[in-house]
Amino acid sequence: MERKASTARSDLEEILADETAEPKALPLSLLQDITGDFSDDQQIGSGGFAVVYKGMIGNRAVAVKRLSNALMDETEFHREVQCLMRVKHKNVVRFLGYCADRQGSMEEFDKKLVMADVHERLLCFEYIPKGSLDKYIMDASREWGTCYKIIKGICEGLQYLHENHIVHLDLKPANILLDDNMAPKITDFGLSRCFDENQSRDITKTILGTMGYLAPEHREGGVIAHSADLYSLGVIIIEILTGQKGYQATDDVIESWSDRLEGSQRDTLCKQIRVCYETALECRDFDPKKRPTSALTIVDRLHEMETIQVKNTFKLRAFSSSVKKLRKGAIGILEVDILSARGLVSMKDKEGGLTDPYCVVKYGEKWVRTGTLFATAVPQWNEQYTWNVLDLNTVVTVAVFDDCHLSSSHGGDDHQMGKVRIRLATLETNRMYTQHYPLMVLTRTGLKKTGELHLAVRFTCRSWAKMLATYGKPLPPTIHIHHTDPITMPQVDPLWLQAEAVQRMVTRLARAEPPLRREVVEYMLDVDPQMFSLRRSQSNFQRIASLYSGATAVAKWFDDICEWKNPLSTILVHVLFLYLVCYPQLILPMVLVLVVMIGVWNYPRRPRNPPHIDTVLSYADQAQPDELEEEFDTFSTSTPDDIVKLRYDRLRSVAGRLQRELGDLAMHAERAQSLLSWRDHRVTPIFIMLSLVVAVVLYWTPLKVVVMVMGLYFLLPSRFRPSRRRTSMVFNLYSRLPSKDDSML
């Protein structure tokens, strides 16, 4: 017997040392020996079904669970051992061995001695020193980092159990132990059920468990399924977050934690708390179908949230480290003096009222706000702000707002009165620009001029060498970081990305003193231009058209040269052309000299002041009322159906014209492709033979002669060329080439 006990002790020591070792059957004598014959001094816990003792194997501790004979039969014991033998996970308490001992004992019964069977059923586990989760929940000073680690660990442990077809059925804080690192470990599988691979649910008439954690379908109908554990999980998460099982509003839960969170990470951690609490409420839904589909879904949700937060943290750290490097090499100082305003028009509903104006200035990540001046149309702020300039390719934005929160008679959002954007690259170095900038806002009824803002702006250069060197450096990391850290598919949607960015900025600036409200942040960040606007589409079309106006002017000048409208210019062009043909090495220097001449010519016409909002370029004066109504419509639309139908028809018309232009581009490309694709069996051989003849001619003819002949031909006056009213033979041939239009439905 002693030899058997010694062997069992060695086996148990090996199991403790090797985490991959399988649990084994242990003799009762060994468990009695290591627990002092189940001494009361070694007792560390008790419940309705068992008593837990601490046992010592050398210098290692184990936990021995002695089950009650009266409350657990042989089948339930076998079921628990079966479940424990199947699990091995970092978030499930490690099972070391079991003992099922039956001995005969003479006992007195009805004044007679009878031989009775004494059953001993014991389970041996690793010893977890920190105790159970219910004790930690009572700690009012618990930290969120530890709480989140516990929540995530429980979810991962439950995911492992469900993947191994085990339903716990008694998940509660008392059955979750915490190790030295505060990692949770699920224990007590006395009520668990092990399903077959093809089994997902069962029905029982015996309802056991702890009230408050039992799922409604299990408590009332005896349904055993994975969703029952998810209900218990939701209750546990709520307890970890609030210290109690009852429902609380999400915002109240977040507010109760916000004061305990570190300021620099408050936004990130509040989002973690929100996700965890909303997931818990979803798990606690009365309808099992409305709960998460599995524990894996919850784990994936937590991992996805962590991935986004890690990416954002990485971006912020990358930006911060880059900015620190840039700060060491700041190229200059930006000074902005907000002097005054004049002629301000009240944006409130009252007629003839005065404004309560204040200014907000944004440059980079720094936001500043002036004081609010009460009831005046000619405010005098006289406030100065300075920034270190890291890059000239940046913009300072100054906006004026009418404060609607000073008086209780007004309310709602602060009204924007206009803004000024100044790009630092348009400023001359060390020059003070002082001028009145017109303020205007575009509303549903049209363009409204609200006054003028008097600003003084100056950029002072510290080092010309550093300033010029910035033009050869990449843009700041916030602009180009997507090349090294691509955004995920949900972030591809610009509306989602915009809403996420604005929400973070609003949350941060709402804690400023005085706070900046959402409408102010959205106006400063130009949120609205993300939506479709026919006015902006027309403006962008005119911007593109204006870029080609130079090419149009060159074409007209060339036509005048060919027509000899200015004989002196025509003769000079002919001489220059022949000279460049004879000396082609002068072409590039001549082009560069021409660029220099254009730059010198435009110098006296350079802008004297920073450019401001151009109402003509913006099509603000020409926009129709219906176009403005569409531009300021909400998302999703709140417009009546008949107006939406008219807008849709108009959009279809515009899209139809665009579609036709795209079709024409495709047709011309397909015609060029058909020259060699033998779609036309007569044109292709003609083109091939013509190409061969031209190749032979060009091979034997000097290049200078070819260029000279072609140039002189194009410079010929119209009287020596075919009439322009007649299209050329080449154009006629090209227009007859086939495209794939015939194959389109």
Tell me the DSSP string of 316-341.
HHHHHHHHHHHHHT--EEEEEEEEEE
Tell me the DSSP string of 231-262.
HHHHHHHHHHHHSSSS---HHHHHHHHHTTS-
Answer whether 42's CB lies under 8 Å from 66's CB. no
H/E/C letters for each residue in 487-510? CCHHHHCHHHHHHHHHHHHHHHHC
| Share in percent of the chain as helix, strand, coil (round to 5) | 50, 20, 30
As a whole number of Å, the end-to-end CA separation of the chain is: 92
Tell me the DSSP string of 283-324.
HT-SSGGGS-S-HHHHHHHHHHHHHHHHHHHHHHHHHHHHHH
Which region holds residue 10: left if phi is over 0, alpha if psi is between -120 and 50, else beta?
A: alpha
CA-CA distances (angstroms) from residue 500 to 63, 303, 600, 632?
Answer: 49, 18, 47, 21
**Measured distance CA(617)–CA(546) in Å, rounded:** 10
β-strand pairing of 357-363 with 395-402: antiparallel
At which residue do the structure tokens 């179908």 appear?
Answer: 289
Neighbours of 501 (CB within 10 A): 12
162: amino acid identity, one letter: H
Residues in contact with 385: Cβ distance below 8 Å, sequence separation at least 6, in sequence order: 335, 336, 338, 361, 368
Encoding tokens for residue 547? 């870029």
Instruction: Give the E-state strand segments of 410-445 in sequence order.
Output: 415-423, 432-443
Q: Which of 192, 166, 169 is nearest to 76 (CA)?
A: 192
Encoding tokens for residue 738? 């086939």
23: amino acid identity, one letter: P
Q: Which of 56, 78, 58, 54 is nearest to 66 (CA)?
A: 54
Q: Which of 53, 55, 65 is nearest to 13 (CA)?
A: 55
Answer whether 290's CB lies under 8 Å from 297's CB. no
Radius of gyration of the chain (CA): 41
Answer whether 227's CB lies under 8 Å from 201's CB. no
Which region holds residue 162: left if phi is over 0, alpha if psi is between -120 and 50, else beta?
A: alpha
389: amino acid identity, one letter: V
- Check the annotation: does 473 bind a ligand: no
β-strand pairing of 24-25 with 95-109: parallel
**Measured distance CA(230)–CA(218) in Å, rounded:** 12
Secondary structure (3-state) at 584: helix
φ, ψ of residue 69 in degrees (nearest 5):
-70, -30
Residue 604 DSSP one-character state: G
**Measured distance CA(55)–CA(25) in Å, rounded:** 16
Answer whether 693's CB lies under 8 Å from 685's CB. no
Encoding tokens for residue 149? 């680690």
Q: Which residue positions form the known binding site for ATP?
A: 65
Q: Which residue positions form the known binding site?
A: 65
